[in-house]
Structure 1
Amino acid sequence: MKNTFFILFLIVVLTRCDNEKLSHKETVTIYYKAFDSGDFNKLKGVIHDSITMINGDFVTPFDKDSFYEFYKWDSIFEPSYEVIDLTEENDNLIATISQKNIRNEFLKNNPLQFKVKISFASGKITKLEELDYIGVNWQEWNQEKDSLVNWIKVNHQNLDGFVNDMTRKGAIELYKGR
């Protein structure tokens, strides 16, 4: 009888814990910590079945499989993310993020800080829209980018144009076109 009561109690407690919804702030914190630690399973747990990333005029929709490809691409640059601030705005969250990685280091803007608007559906992240970059020296960024593009053009003509499509698909097409 004691064992039955204990088992029922344990089931109720575990079921209750599973049904607790994360706040939007907790969800975003898990998202960036999962990116930072390289834990795609945790990341997958807080994104919706489809997720859209918006950066200026570039709108990139993902399903979980294509988002995994993006995640693998991003991890090449050994990123480190820090959530600096989270502010709720209606059903969205405005996050200030600091991102360090070897790409930003090369472009002389490390860490890169930016604000992103995060939207949710059913408690999971559905959209990340970059709003503003903080303290970025775009002149230096463009000089470094242009020097890389010119170096590629001179030394690896077969890769010329790489900066126009930095997706996995673009890389495959560029490789096949060699």
Structure 2
Amino acid sequence: MKKIPIIIISIFLSSCAVNKVPKPEQVMKYYQGLQKSEYPEIEKVLSDSLIISEGDYVMKFTPESYYEHFKWDSVFNPAYKIVGLKEQENFVSATVSVSSSRFDFLENNPLTCKRRFYFKHGKIRRIENLDCVDANWIIWQKQRDSLVAWVKINNPELDGFINDLSEQGAINYMKAIELYKKQKLK
């Protein structure tokens, strides 16, 4: 009788070992999900809570709130390319190049950034955005500020898009870019 529970435990432990995906592969699956705009694929590799930080700026997400962030980002049709991936002692370092319609307008397309991925129980729990090696933040800020100022005067119904991280906020951002570009062509 005692052998049955031991057999069941052994089967359970061996099945857990088989299903354990290496951390670098989890990061690749995360970016594959972003690339294909398939949130269920991303959700499989995320912990039950996710923290994304950039310097002192920290965003905390549940799977549901990260889905809202994912929808915002998806509006800009991003294309991701992993340039480098390396497992460290406590994290995975990734260098990722991202192209998008937003970055194109901000004249920083593609944008290549370094990130660190931390894990909890084999799933991504924290992403630190480190340095964007090819970014020109002066041009980025100039483009962004010009767009925001122009929208405030010419299309006030879209004002506030820059701080609206909802899907509708991203749609308004794209609409603002489109209207701004048309005005510049006149």
Distance 1:39 1:160, change over 3 A: closer
How far off is 1:73 after superposition? 0.8
Question: Helix, strand or coil: the match of 2:21?
Answer: coil
Equivalent residue number for residue 123 of structure 2: 124
Secondary structure of 2:126's match?
A: strand
Partner of 1:157: 156
| Residue of structure 1 equivalent to 2:66 | 67
List aligned pairs for 1:68-87, cutoff 5 A: 68-87=67-86
Question: Contact (CA 8 Å) 2:72, 2:168: kept in 1 or not?
Answer: no
TM-score norm. by structure 2 comes to 0.78
Letter in 2 for 1:60: M
The residue number in structure 1 matching 2:32 is: 33
Match of 2:166 among 157, 165, 168: 168
Shift of 1:18: 8.0
Match of 1:94 in 2: 93
- Alignment partner, residue 103 of structure 1: 102
Structure-1 separation of matches of 2:21 and 2:147 = 43
The alpha-carbon deviation at position 158 of structure 1 amounts to 4.3
* Contiguous gaps of at least 5 residues in structure 2: 1-10, 170-186
Secondary structure in 1 matching 2:52: strand
Which amino acid letter does the alignment assign opposite residue 64 of structure 1? P
The Cα of 1:24 is off from its aligned counterpart by 0.6
- On the 8 A contact 2:75/2:167 being kept in 1, the answer is no
**What's 1:175 paired with?**
none
Per the alignment, residue 178 of structure 2 pairs with none
The TM-score normalised by the length of structure 1 is: 0.81
- Measured after TM superposition, the shift of residue 159 of structure 1 is 3.9
Inter-partner Cα distance in structure 2 for 1:39 and 1:160 = 30
Q: Determine the structure 1 residue equivalent to 2:54.
A: 55
Q: Once superposed, which parts of structure 1, at least 4 consecutive aligned residues long, lie more than 3 Å away? A: 15-19, 158-162
Query: Secondary structure at the residue paired with 2:103?
Result: helix
- 1:157, distance to aligned residue in structure 2 (A): 2.8
Distance in 2 between residues matched to 1:69 and 1:18, nearest whole Å: 32
2:144 is paired with a residue whose SS is helix
Structure 1 equivalent of residue 138 of structure 2? 139
CA shift for structure 1 position 56:
2.6
Unaligned runs of 5+ in 1: 1-11, 172-178
